[in-house]
Amino acid sequence: MKHKKMNEFPLMDPSKGLVLFYPDISPNAINSVNETLSGRWIGQGPKVESFQNEFTKKFLHSGSSLAVGSGTDALHLAYILAGINDGDEVLAPAFTCTATNIPLLYLNANIKFIDIDPKTMNLSLEDIKQKVSPKTKAIVTVDYGGIPCEYDELKKISAVNGIALIQDAAHSIGSKYGENYVGNQSDFTIFSFQAIKTLTTGDGGMLVMKNANLNERAKKLRWFGIDRAQKQGGIWENDIQDIGYKYQMNDIAAAIGLSNLECFDDIVNARKELYERYLGGLKEVQGISVIQPVSKKTVDFCPWLLTIIVDKNRAGLMKKLRENSVESGQVHYRNDRYSIFGTQKQELPNMDFLEDKYLVLPLHRKMTVDDVDRVVSIIKEGW
C-alpha cells in the first residue's frame, strides 16, 4: 500500500475551515491557571492531589488513581506494576497510537499483535483466544474512538490464564461499560489528558489501579523511586530501592483538569449530540458505514472519534472534503508497519481489509450540528 505523504494533506488553519481536532478548555481554566501561577506550587503540589481525588470521586467505585505527565507515562508504570519483564509475551493491539506499545519496548517485552474487530476496530476476541498462550503475561486493550471493548469476555480470558488485563482508555473517558464508567473493569486502566482528548490538562495522564495496595509503589516510581512525602517531611532515610522516573503531573496541568472536570458532563453531552447527528445523516449514504458499538453493554459511550468506513476511494473522499475546507485523516495506523516493531506486517486479515478504508471526520465542541450537516452534505454529493 502507498501511504499519503504528510505534505499532501497539510494541517488546516482553523480560521479557514473545519479542522479535525480542537482543544476543549473551560473558560474557568484561565483563572485557575493564573491563580496557580501566582502561588507557591507550579510543579507537583496540592492541585495534583485534588485532581486525583476529584477524578476518583467522579469515575471510580474502588481502587486508586495517580496523576502523571502523560498517558504514555501511565502505561509504562502499569506495565512495570503488572510485572512485565524482559522477554515476557504481551498481547496488544496492532491498531492504536504507538504510545500504547512503545513502553513495552522499554521493558523489552515480546509483543504479539492482535487483529481488530471490523465492526468496532477494537481487539478481536477471536484472535486473542487463538493467540493467548502459557507464555502470555498480560493483555493490553484500547477502547477505539471511545467504544469500550468487551470486558466481560476479556476478564474471563485473563482470569482463566492468570494474566493481567491492562486497559488503554485514552479515547474512552466518560464512556460506560454496562452501568460503570470506564476505569472500573481492568487490573490497570490508563487515561490520557493530551491536548485534543475529551478531557485535557494540556498534557497529562492518569493511572488507575484496581489493587490500591500498589499505590505507594506507584507514587515512588512516579518520582525517581523516592518517597516524596517522607522526603518533604524530613524523615526520608535517603535510600532508593526502585528505579523510578520523572512522571509526575504538575499543578498547572491539574488546574486545567479541575476546571474541565467541572464541565465534563456538558462536554460529553455535546460530543454525543454531534455523533448522533452524523449517524442520522450518514445512515443511508451508499458506500459509507460508521464505526459504532455493537454490544448493549457499550451503548452509553462518549465518542472521541467519528470513524467511517469508505468502501471505495478513500483518498478521493479526503480530497473532496479538503477542497470544501473540511479536514479528515486516519489518526492511528497499524503498528506492525513501523521499523521499531520489526517492520514485518503480521497476518491480520481484518486490519488488512480495513487499512485503506477507515477515515476520521471532525468531532469537537467548536463544531455545531450545522457543521455536521455540511460535512454529510459534501459526502452525499459523491467523490
Residue numbers annotated as active site = 197
Count the Cβ atoms, other than its own, within 10 Å of residue 75.
Answer: 27
**H/E element, 139:** strand 136-142
* Backbone angle region of 124, left / alpha / beta, with phi > 0 → left and psi within -120 to 50 → alpha: beta
d(Cα 144, Cα 205) in Å, to the nearest integer?
17
Helix axes 369-380, 264-282, angle to 10 degrees: 20
* Backbone angle region of 196, left / alpha / beta, with phi > 0 → left and psi within -120 to 50 → alpha: alpha
d(Cα 37, Cα 260) in Å, to the nearest integer?
18
What is the signed CA dihedral for 76, 79, 82, 83, rounded to 10 degrees?
A: -100
Phi, psi of 161 (to 5 degrees): -95, 0
Which residues in 247-266 are b (16+ Cβ under 10 Å) and which e? bbbbbbbbbbbbbbbebbee
**How far from each other are the two terminal CA atoms of the chain, in whole angstroms?**
21
Identify the DSSP state of 119: T
